[in-house]
Structure 1
Amino acid sequence: MSTANEFLSREEEQEIVAAIASAEKNTSGEIRVHIENHTEKPPLERAKEVFHLLGMSATQSRNGVLFYVGVQDRSFAIIGDEGIDKAVEPDFWDCTRDIVISHFKGRHFKDGLVAGILRAGERLKQYFPFADDDKDELSNEISRN
């Protein structure tokens, strides 16, 4: 079983970072990916904790999105900040989650994250379109624990 450090190659990580940059060209939303080995907490609960540890609620429009992956736990969650939750339908993330999980089931982890990130950017642009004065408020780099 791989660990968080072995989950993706350096090249795959760069493709994910590029997908984040591409997705953020469509929206003022801020997207991050966090990968860790194991947690005792349920994935959604841990994702919320990581979201706050990474300072993702500090965006001006409260429109941060976190893709959380627990490698050894084989867990995944996607969450958005309260600005997104107030603007979108309750099942907004379901199709994005399903795209990621379908790739993960085939062990295509990078492809799943890239597809999910690009889908999130497309979905977010109708609620949080990119504006000329937008600035990148959060790092696009993958975080680890």
Structure 2
Amino acid sequence: MAVAASYFSEEQQMLLKNAIARNEKHTTGEIRVYIDSTIKGDVLDRAAEIFETLKMHETLLHNGVLIYVAIEMRQFAIIGDSGIHQHVSQNFWEKVKSEMIPFFKRQDYTGGLLHAIDETGKKLKIHFPVTKDDVNELPNDVIFGE
């Protein structure tokens, strides 16, 4: 088991997966959560690398959002594709990140991630409402790195 996964029980992982699925029922957008234990280098660079590796830039409407956490480094980033950035400013992502910090300071990583997933889902629902022919383009599982 990856070290990052040890911070989350199976129940917590299921809560996160279900939150992603629940939010994606109302939008064509895609939300992913990726958790590393540590990183070398810049958190934003690593998040961008993961975004590309997960092929999040290949969604039909370019409305994927990655919530990336390097848990032992206490660093995290939120990256949205070009479609969502046409509607949501960087200030929104910074606000969500600042709202996650109190959860993370209490080591309530699940709570912080659930908040970010729900806030992201609300914006995606406004700008990319679900369509009758919508398909889930990316898996909802939380991904754990090393």
The bucket for the TM-score relative to the shorter chain is over 0.9
Tell me which residue corresponds to 1:32. 32
* Aligned-pair CA distance for 1:85: 1.2
1:27-85 CA distance string (max 9 Å, x none): 11100000111111211111011000111111000000001010221111111011111
Tell me which residue corresponds to 1:16. 16
Q: Please, which moves more after superposition, 91-100 or 61-70?
A: 91-100
Residue type of the alignment partner of 2:112: G
Structure 2 runs not aligned, ≥5 long: none
Give the superposed CA RMSD.
1.4
Tell me which residue corresponds to 2:87. 87
Cα distance in 2 between the residues matched to 1:16 and 1:138: 15
1:65-124 CA distance string (max 9 Å, x none): 001010221111111011111222231212221222221111111111111101110122
Structure 1 runs not aligned, ≥5 long: none
Q: Give TM-score scaled by structure 1 length.
A: 0.93
* Aligned-pair CA distance for 1:17: 0.2
| Percent of aligned positions that are identical | 40
Runs of 4+ in structure 1 displaced over 6 angstroms?
Answer: none
Q: Which one has the bigger helix percentage?
A: 2
Q: Give TM-score scaled by structure 2 length.
A: 0.93
